[in-house]
Structure 1
Amino acid sequence: MKDLEYCEKYGFDYIDLQESCLNPDLEAGACTLEELGAWFAEHNLKMYSYNALEDFNMRRTIAEQDRVLAHLKEIIRRCNILGCDLVVLCPSGNLNVDATIPEIHKDTVDMLQRMLAIAEPHKIRLALEFCGFPGMSINRFREAYAIVQEIDSPLLGITMDQAHFHSMASDWESLKEADGRKIFTWHLNDLENVPCGAAYNDVTKRLFPGDPRGCMDHARYAGVLKRIGYQGACSIEVFRPEYYRLEQEENVRLAAKAIKEHIRKYVN
């Protein structure tokens, strides 16, 4: 609840609610879904996305697939209470089979079609996030966008995370050729200048945009997204341990300062 209060205080319009933060509070009785829903209804800050349903593809058994679909149904129930219409989906990693990209593509298309059938009656959108780590089953923009293109549903799009785009060296031409309307959310961040694909190039290397230690070409990201017609929100996502060691309010204040400066410089 303090996160919500501080985000509103420092001028955020939206929050991507992390399931890993929400579940412990619900289990501890710190809040209920109904209390959160009422809070959002009464305040300017709104929930932009439910982040995230993880490991949804390449589930080899019927039982594993059923657990994914049951998880999605529970997330949709929560979204209906919280006033949220967007769910981020993260692919599975460290597969125990030597799957090819075409095999992963087909499996993911099949699973997403089943998930869309559940989400459609509720008008809930799904945003596939390619995750820029070597062990992830979908780790580049091109592969994720090809899946979204094939299914071609208005309820299915992409989560575009700058750090993930950089970390596995996604190609800029594939982004330039994309339909910006199929990108549903833009995760903004920066990264230390470490090698693409390195095992240690993980979330701990993320930075607030504008940090002098960063290596991102922010003008290029913002320029391309504007040119292809991106119309969603710009949210800051970092996960850096040193930021978690800050006082809670100071963390939110610095994040708000960073994203406002970024928008003034590159987006407006």
Structure 2
Amino acid sequence: MKIGFNEANDRFCKGHSVMNDLELCEKYGFDFIDIQSECLNRDLDAGKVTLEELGAWFASHHLKMLSYNALCFFNMKETQAEKDAVMAELDEIIRRCDILGCKMIVVVPSKDMQARGLTPTRKEIREDAVAVLKEMVKKCEPHGIKLSLEFCGEPSMTINRFEDAYAIVEAVDSPYVGLTLDQYHFYAMGSGWDALEKADGKKIFVWHLNGTEDLPCGCYYNNDEKRMWPDADGDCLPHKRYADTLKQIGFEGDCCTIEIFRPEYYEMTQEENIRKSAEVTKAHVAKYAQF
């Protein structure tokens, strides 16, 4: 099992830069990195780096880019202009991925329907997501780029449980569309283990590793900031069960990527954060994920 680093871990560390992430992830033994769009956009806008410089770096080093994380809020658009904007963003991300040698784009569902006066049913959300993803595949397939749908475990998200995300992926029925299994998101809205245990592991493209505090399912303060290092004091997630289940259903992603948004971890230096992330991820793989 290879190991990956997601820039969520250190994106607000003092002096953060994407290029530093690449150098430090290489130094501490990561195989892959998920580059966060906000980190990349911040550095590009500041003139710290160019896409071509990053692409050249990846071409000459062991570390590779696992995913572009992410195209956010892709579904449930009301106007043609909104729909066109999503596809234009996808076109730009594909252009970037071609330069960076990246073959995966994570797509995140829309949220806060109530603020827009909408109350869509699960059926309506599924049908809309399937239609949009099918259009996205037409753009991505010629470039050999896959789409990984990430359900997000909070009440306001339109796709917030594994069962719904998996049903959408099955309905799209393309080898270019799978899903991201984030352990925290699976826990936070009470996704069903029975659904995961019956799933086809080949449809799971990305595995996000994290721990979390033991908080009530779906409550307003159960959020990304409560994530923590897996197996840290207070972590409630059943890591062996996640790993064993993924092995049993045939997960072929061959990578476990650590993704944590804990504010106190942003007080670390960028190097301290990445060193600790590597230590924790390697220990997790050695203990649970030898497959």
- Structure 1 and Structure 2 fold alike (TM over 0.5): yes
Task: Tell me the secondary structure at the aligned position of residue 48 of structure 2.
Answer: coil
2:206 alignment partner AA: T
Cα deviation, 1:157-212, whole Å, max 9, x if unaligned, reads: 00000000000000001000100000000000000011110111111100011211
User: TM-score normalised to the size of structure 1?
Assistant: 0.99
Matched with 1:22 is 40
> Does structure 1 residue 70 correspond to structure 2 residue 82?
no
Output the aligned Cα RMSD: 0.5
The runs of at least 4 consecutive aligned structure 1 residues that moved more than 6 Å come to none
> Does structure 1 residue 87 correspond to structure 2 residue 109?
no
2:220 alignment partner AA: A
Matched residues in 2 for 1:231 and 1:243: separation? 30
Matched residues in 1 for 2:38 and 2:266: separation? 14
Matched with 1:162 is 183
Q: Following TM superposition, by how much is the alpha carbon of 1:31 offset from its aligned partner in structure 2, in angstroms?
A: 0.2
2:175 alignment partner AA: P
> Does structure 1 residue 204 correspond to structure 2 residue 232?
no
Q: Following TM superposition, by how much is the alpha carbon of 1:251 offset from its aligned partner in structure 2, in angstroms?
A: 0.4
Matched residues in 1 for 2:144 and 2:82: separation? 25
> Does structure 1 residue 253 correspond to structure 2 residue 269?
no
Cα deviation, 1:124-157, whole Å, max 9, x if unaligned, reads: 1000000000000000000000010011100000
Task: Tell me the secondary structure at the aligned position of residue 17 of structure 1.
Answer: strand
1:81 alignment partner AA: I
User: TM-score normalised to the size of structure 2?
Assistant: 0.91
**Unaligned regions of 5+ residues in structure 1, if any?**
none
Matched residues in 1 for 2:79 and 2:56: separation? 39
Matched residues in 1 for 2:181 and 2:269: separation? 29
Q: Following TM superposition, by how much is the alpha carbon of 1:123 offset from its aligned partner in structure 2, in angstroms?
A: 1.1
Matched residues in 2 for 1:42 and 1:156: separation? 29
Matched with 1:214 is 235
Matched residues in 1 for 2:172 and 2:109: separation? 16
Cα deviation, 1:218-268, whole Å, max 9, x if unaligned, reads: 000000001001111210000110111101100000000000000000001
Q: Percentage identity across aligned positions?
A: 57
> Does structure 1 residue 99 correspond to structure 2 residue 117?
no
Matched residues in 2 for 1:213 and 1:247: separation? 23
2:70 alignment partner AA: A
> Does structure 1 residue 243 correspond to structure 2 residue 243?
no
Q: Following TM superposition, by how much is the alpha carbon of 1:120 offset from its aligned partner in structure 2, in angstroms?
A: 1.1
Q: Please list, as runs of the form range in 1=range in 2, the aligned pairs for 1:1-150 lying within 5 A after superposition.
A: 1-95=19-113, 96=116, 97-150=118-171
Task: Tell me the secondary structure at the aligned position of residue 170 of structure 1.
Answer: coil
1:260 alignment partner AA: K
The aligned length equals 268
1:144 alignment partner AA: A
